[in-house]
């Protein structure tokens, strides 16, 4: 896979993923206003050309929660990856490792968290959705720790599933082959999942995950100063600014739009991860220059997976790194630290 850019992958992926599955991946909530806005917000800020600094791009490497990564972009958690490709999370894990970055495995991954962990030896985090069953939650967290995950990503922006109209039109449900193995009961039957999600989430939820996981907790789905401070107080190790890729609250501002507000509240006490609409090296640059420590990539990873298996995933990250390097050089930033010091325009 040699993408000219990550935007055109969507169209190509639409030709290889079955239609309803593609809609599930590509779609957003409601009018998909927030989905589009996640991209549009990046256009409202500009990067100024700096070309007399005498700097030459040295490196795109950075780290997040102590884990070194080759570029400031990691894999966002996404469920049911068998919808995109038969290798599912194993392909994504292997591709991410090959690209030198970190992979997050979803609670509702097709593969069990143990199988996903085994697929590659790159760094990995486990993303948890709390269900109403605390026993099961604790069990999942212990399994994650046992399987060697380095952190737990607690996703808090799905107290209820968003209004995904494409899915309602398509009558979409996960096909059996993509069913989340973590939810298989003793008899190998799937428990009803989404309705089992815990809608009540607060500081105690974070404390629960810290206690039972024994790992640093990244709180994902923060979009305001208020929630950021709640998460900080409850001991979050990192905050992932996200509106779930426009899949939950349509009419919410872009993730990139609220990033400065969250950054101002957090004041560097914990690292910030941003996801939503990242498609260009320039987007990565703008996010880092606006307060993010790293960004996470969602849909393009699945398109790469669908189009080229683990190598497709690797290509996606390599391509993004190439774009980022070009932007860095033209903006006079030799390192990721330089990017963070850059002021944007607009």
In the complex, the smallest distance separating the C-beta of residue 120 from its own copies, rounded to whole angstroms, is 29
Q: CB of residue 297 vs ligand FMN: minimum separation in angstroms?
A: 5
| 309 contact choice in ligand FMN, its own copies, none (CB below 5 to 8 Å, kind-dependent) | none
Q: Determine, following the binding rule CB under 6 A, whether residue 112 of this chain makes contact with ligand FMN.
A: no
Strands in the chain per DSSP E:
62-64, 67-69, 73-75, 103-105, 124-128, 152-155, 217-222, 238-241, 272-275, 294-297
For the bound state, the minimum distance from the C-beta of residue 319 to ligand FMN, rounded and expressed in Å, comes to: 15
Is residue 49 a contact residue for its own copies (CB under 8 A)?
yes
C-alpha span between 270 and 23 (Å, rounded): 35
Q: Is 197 in the site for its own copies (CB under 8 A)?
A: no
Contact present, 101 and 186 (Cβ < 8 Å): no
Name the closest residue to ligand FMN (Cβ): 298
Angle formed at CA 36 by CA 33 and CA 39, multiple of 5 degrees? 145
- Which of 85, 103, 244, 319 is labelled catalytic? 244
Binding flag, residue 288, its own copies (CB under 8 A): no
Residue from 15, 135, 168, 267 that binds its own copies (CB under 8 A)? 168
In the residue annotation, 103 being an active-site residue is answered as: no
Which residues, numbered 216-255, are part of the site for ligand FMN (CB under 6 A)? 220, 242, 244-245
Read off the tokens for 65. Answer: 């929660």
- Nearest by Cα to 10 from 307, 313, 339: 307
Specify the residue, 25 or 234, whose C-beta has the smaller distance to ligand FMN. Answer: 25
List the x/- string, 311-340, binding to ligand FMN by CB under 6 A: ------------------------------
Asked if 234 and 207 count as a contact pair (C-beta separation under 8 A), the reply is: yes
Give dist(CA 247, CA 203) in Å, integer.
Answer: 24
Which residue bears the tokens 């000219």? Answer: 4
Q: Which residues contact 54 (CB under 8 A, 6 or more apart)?
A: none
Q: Which does 79 bind (CB under 5 to 8 A by kind): its own copies, ligand FMN, none?
A: ligand FMN
**C-alpha span between 302 and 300 (Å, rounded):** 5
Q: Is 202 in the site for its own copies (CB under 8 A)?
A: yes
Beta partners for residue 190, in sequence order: 184
Please state the closest distance from residue 78 (CB atom) to ligand FMN, in A. Answer: 4
- Cα 310 from chain centroid (whole Å): 17
Considering only residues 5 to 34 of the shown chain, the ones binding its own copies according to CB under 8 A are: 5, 7, 30-31, 33
Q: List the one residue from 17, 69, 76, 262 that touches ligand FMN (CB under 6 A).
A: 76
Closest CA to 8 of 304, 255, 214, 318: 304
Q: Could you tell me the two tokens for 344? A: 């944007």
Instruction: Decide whether 57 or 140 has the Cβ nearer to its own copies.
Output: 57
The bridge status of strand 124-128 relative to strand 152-155 is parallel
Residue matched to tokens 């990046």: 42
Catalytic amino acids?
244
Residues making contact with ligand FMN (CB under 6 A): 24-25, 38, 76-79, 106, 108, 127, 155, 220, 242, 244-245, 275-278, 297-299
Residues making contact with its own copies (CB under 8 A): 4-5, 7, 30-31, 33, 42-43, 46-57, 156-157, 159-160, 162-163, 165, 168-169, 199-205, 219, 221-224, 226-227, 230-231, 243, 248-253, 257-258, 280, 282, 286, 323, 325-327, 329-331, 345-346
């Amino acid at each position: 896979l040699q993408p000219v850019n990550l935007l055109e992958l969507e169209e190509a992926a639409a030709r290889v993923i079955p239609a309803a599955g593609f809609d599930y991946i590509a779609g957003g909530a409601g009018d998909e206003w927030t989905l589009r806005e996640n991209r549009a917000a990046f256009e409202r800020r500009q990067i100024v050309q700096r070309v007399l600094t005498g700097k030459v791009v040295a490196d795109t490497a950075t780290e997040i929660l102590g884990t070194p990564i080759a570029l400031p972009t990691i894999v966002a958690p996404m469920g049911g990856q068998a919808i995109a490709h038969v290798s599912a999370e194993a392909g994504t894990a292997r591709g991410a490792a090959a690209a030198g970055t970190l992979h997050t495995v979803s609670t509702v991954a097709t593969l069990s968290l143990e199988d996903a962990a085994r697929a590659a030896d790159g760094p990995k985090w486990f993303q948890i959705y709390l269900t109403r069953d605390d026993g099961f939650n604790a069990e999942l967290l212990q399994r994650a720790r046992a399987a060697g995950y380095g952190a737990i990503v607690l996703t808090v922006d799905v107290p209820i599933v968003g209004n995904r109209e494409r899915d309602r039109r398509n009558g979409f449900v996960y096909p059996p082959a993509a069913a989340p193995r973590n939810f298989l009961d003793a008899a190998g039957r799937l428990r009803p999942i989404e309705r089992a999600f815990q809608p009540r989430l607060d500081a105690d939820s974070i404390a629960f995950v810290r206690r039972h996981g024994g790992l640093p907790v990244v709180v994902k789905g923060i979009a305001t100063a208020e929630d950021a401070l709640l998460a900080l107080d409850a001991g979050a190790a990192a905050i992932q600014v996200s509106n779930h890729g426009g899949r939950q609250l349509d009419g919410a501002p872009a993730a990139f739009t609220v990033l400065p507000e969250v950054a101002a509240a957090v004041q560097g006490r914990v690292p910030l991860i941003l996801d939503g609409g990242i498609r260009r090296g320039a987007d990565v640059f703008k996010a880092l220059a606006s307060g993010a420590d790293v960004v996470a990539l969602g849909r393009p990873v699945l398109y790469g997976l669908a189009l080229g298996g683990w190598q497709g995933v690797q290509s996606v990250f390599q391509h993004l790194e190439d774009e980022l390097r070009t932007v860095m050089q033209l903006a006079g930033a030799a390192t990721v630290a330089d990017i963070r010091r850059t002021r944007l325009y607009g």
